[in-house]
Amino acid sequence: PVAAFGIARPGLGQQAGTAELSLETLLSFERDGHTVTRNLFSAEDFAELAAPLRRFAEAEEAAAAAHAAAVMSAQDMDGEAPPFLQSFNPHRRCKAARELALSPIIVA
C-alpha cells in the first residue's frame, strides 16, 4: 500500500492510465507557475486531502495577519488594510502538502 496524506491504502492518488498535458497547458504552467488539472484525484481522495490542507492554510493566514497587524501597529498604521499576505513552500511545514507534492500521480 501507498501511505499518502496520512492514509495507508493502495491506490490513493493513483488512477489507472495516464493523462498527457497539452502544449497549451505546459506553456501556461511555464508562464504562470501553476496549472489546473481537473479530476486528477477522485472525489473521495480529494475530500481526504482537503481537510488538512485547509487547516494549514487557515493557520498560515491567521499567523500572517497577526504578524502584519503587529508590524503595522509598530509603524503607526493601525486601521489600514494589511498588505497582500503570502505563504511560501508549504511542503516544508505541512505533512499533507509534502505528501501531495510527492504523490505518485503528481510526480508522474
Residue with cell 498535458: 21
**Residue written as grid cell 486601521:** 79
**Nearest alpha carbon to residue 5 among 62, 59, 38, 54:** 54
pLDDT given at position 16: 40
- Return the pLDDT at 25: 85
List, for residues 7-66, the tens digit of each pLDDT value. Answer: 333 344 444 445 577 889 889 889 998 888 878 788 888 888 889 999 999 998 898 888
Rounded to two decimals, the pTM is 0.58
Q: How many helices (H) and strands (E) does the chain have?
A: 4, 2
From 65, 55, 49, select the one nearest 99 (Cα to Cα): 49
Cβ-based neighbours of 101, under 8 Å, separated by 6 or more? 91
